[in-house]
Structure 1
C-alpha cells in the first residue's frame, strides 16, 4: 500500500471547470501557500477559509469545488474560462501572507540619453507574460523569452520620449528590473493572439522549450515544479496540471490523478 501522504486526489468537474481545478491543484501542491491559508482560515474577509476547507477534503478524497466557484462569483460552470485569470483572482482574494508567495515587484526604468535622468515606476505582478507571437521561428525558448523581457529597449527618432529634466523630447532607454523576486514565479505563455485578417483570436502552436531550472536577472534561480497545460482552441479546450512532488510528477486531470513514470521536463515542450 502506498503511504497516505503519497496518495493524490482529484477535483470534480462541475461542467467546464477544468481551468479552476488545474489552478487549485497547483495551489494545493504549493506547500507554503497551503500552510498559509490554513493558518489564516479564521479571516472571514479572505478566500483562505474556503481554500482551507477544500484543501482539508482534498487530503482525504476527491473534492467538490462548489464552495470556491460560489466565492469567486462563477455563475456558469459550463463556460470555459482562462486559468491564468482565475489564478490571479484567487490570489487577489487571498490573505497577504498567502498571496505574497507569488507576488513580485517590477520597476520600469526610463533613462534619458541626453541628461541621464532616470524615472522609475514600480508595479506588483503575479506573473511574467512571455509573448510567443514575438518568436521568429516555430520553436520558442523560455530562456530566450525571459532574456528578451528584461532587455533594455531604445526609443529614438519619432519614438523619442519626453524628459522633464530637459523639458524636451530626447532619445531614451527603457528597461524592466526585478525589484523583488517572488518566492514562486509564474510564467504566462501567451499562446493566444488576435488575428486581424479573421478578426478573432488564434492559438499559437509553437513548440516551447522549458528548462528544469531558470535563472532570472539578479541571479535568482527557480526550479520547475508545476505546469498548467491547455489543449484545444479558445472556445473549446481542456486544462490539466502536472505537478512535481518529492521528485515524482503527477498529472491532475479533474477527478483523475495519475503518477507519471519517468517524467521529464521534455514532456512539457509542446
Structure 2
C-alpha cells in the first residue's frame, strides 16, 4: 500500500523514523545498562569530526568485510607496505584495530582523515563530500600502498574466447584481490558486423536507476548490461569500414570480484538542474544472482550476499550518511550513525535511502588476529 503514496519531498523523514526505532549503544539510559551491555568486536561507533559522516559510513562498511579485516589485524599488511606511500594504509590499520580490538564504544578517525587529507586537502575541510568518490580515493590509496608487482604470461588464449579473456594485471594487492572486477565490452559495427572487444577494470559499478517510483536491483543491473546502440554523434570508427558507423555495444562481466560494490546513481545533473532520485530500490539480502551478466566460463561464484549498505539522506548539496553492516562475529545487522550504534532486524536493512551496496560471494567468517611465530 505504501508504494501508492507519493514519495516524500525529503527522505530525512525516513531517517527520523529509523532513529526513533533504535536503541543506541552510545546513549544507554543509565550506568546499569552500560555495565550489562556487551561490546562486540567490530561494533564500534566513529566520532564525527565535522561533516565527516560520509567518511564514517565508508569506514564502517570496509571494516565489516572479513577478509580485509583479517588482512590488517593479522599484520600481513606490514610486509606489503610501500615505504613512500604507507601513511594512509597504516592509519587505516590503526582505526580498524581500535574498532575491532579496542574497548571503547566509539573511536575517533582523526588519524585516518589527516593521512588522507595530506594527499587530498578537500577531505580536511568541514564540508560534506560524496561517499562514493571518497570510497574510490580510499581504495586507490590502499592499493598504491600495498601493491606488489608480478610478471604474468600473456595467457588465457587458446580455449578461452576472445570476448572472455582477462586483462593482464602486473600489480596486485588485497584491494584488487577483493574488489577488482573486469567488464568486457563487445562492440559490433551495424554495417559490416565486425566485432571487437574492449576490457575495463572496475572496483565500483555505477548503476542507472530506470524508474523514479520503485524498482529492483535486478532492474538496475539489466539496464546497465542491456545492449546500447550508438548513433549520430556517438558513432564509433570502424577499422573495416574506415569510417564512423552506428554501433551496438554490450557489456558483460569477464572477472567477477569477490566483493562487488554497487553505486546507485541517485544524483542526476542535467545542465544547471540538480536532483536526487528517491526511488525505492528493492535489493536482496542473500543470493543475489549475477549469472546472467557474467561470461559463462567465469561463473564459479555468481551468488552474492549483502554485507554492508551506505545510506544517504537529504539532497545533492548536503545531507547525512549512515551505514548498515552485518557483523561477522554476531551475524547480526547493525546501524552505524556516527557514534550512534544499534542492532537492527534484517527487515530494516531494506530502505529507500540506499546509495552504496556491498555484496560478497564469500561466506561470513570471524576475522582472527594471528600470532607472530
Distance 1:16 1:156, change over 3 A: closer
1:210 counterpart = 2:210: no
Distance 1:53 1:171, change over 3 A: same
Q: Aligned partners of 1:2 and 1:165: how far apart in 2?
A: 70
1:68 counterpart = 2:112: yes
C-alpha displacement of 1:16: 0.7
From 55, 58, 79, the counterpart of 2:99: 58
Unaligned regions of 5+ residues in structure 2, if any? 1-35, 148-172, 354-373
Matches within 5 A, 1:97-116: 97-100=173-176, 101-116=178-193
- SS of residue matched to 2:341: strand
The C-alpha deviation readout for 1:204-235, integer Å capped at 9, x for no partner, is 11111112232222252211111000111122
Report what 2:274 is aligned to.
201
1:11 counterpart = 2:46: yes
C-alpha displacement of 1:2: 6.5
Conserved 8 A contact 1:14-1:77: no
Tell which structure's C-alpha radius of gyration is larger. Answer: 2
From 307, 329, 346, the counterpart of 1:263: 346
C-alpha displacement of 1:267: 2.9
Report what 2:259 is aligned to.
184
Report what 1:141 is aligned to.
216
The C-alpha deviation readout for 1:230-251, integer Å capped at 9, x for no partner, is 1111222110000112431100
The C-alpha deviation readout for 1:99-131, integer Å capped at 9, x for no partner, is 111111112220223443222222211111112
The C-alpha deviation readout for 1:31-86, integer Å capped at 9, x for no partner, is 11122334113514243211111111112122211111111114534200011111
Between 1:37-46 and 1:209-218, the stretch displaced more is 37-46
RMSD: 2.3
The C-alpha deviation readout for 1:156-200, integer Å capped at 9, x for no partner, is 57764321022234443111121211110010011111144xx24
Conserved 8 A contact 2:321-2:337: yes
Structure with the largest fraction of helix? 2
Matches within 5 A, 1:36-55: 36-37=71-72, 38-41=75-78, 43=81, 44=83, 45-46=85-86, 47-55=88-96
Report what 2:20 is aligned to.
none
Q: Aligned partners of 1:117 and 1:7: how far apart in 2?
A: 53
Q: Aligned partners of 1:25 and 1:71: how far apart in 2?
A: 18
Q: How many residues align?
A: 265
**Misfit runs of 4+, over 3 Å:** 1-7, 74-77, 113-116, 155-161, 168-171
Report what 1:236 is aligned to.
318
Conserved 8 A contact 1:141-1:208: yes
- SS of residue matched to 1:268: coil
Q: Aligned partners of 1:77 and 1:10: how far apart in 2?
A: 21
Conserved 8 A contact 1:211-1:265: no
C-alpha displacement of 1:26: 0.7
Query: TM-score with structure 1 length normalisation?
Result: 0.88
Between 1:249-258 and 1:166-175, the stretch displaced more is 166-175
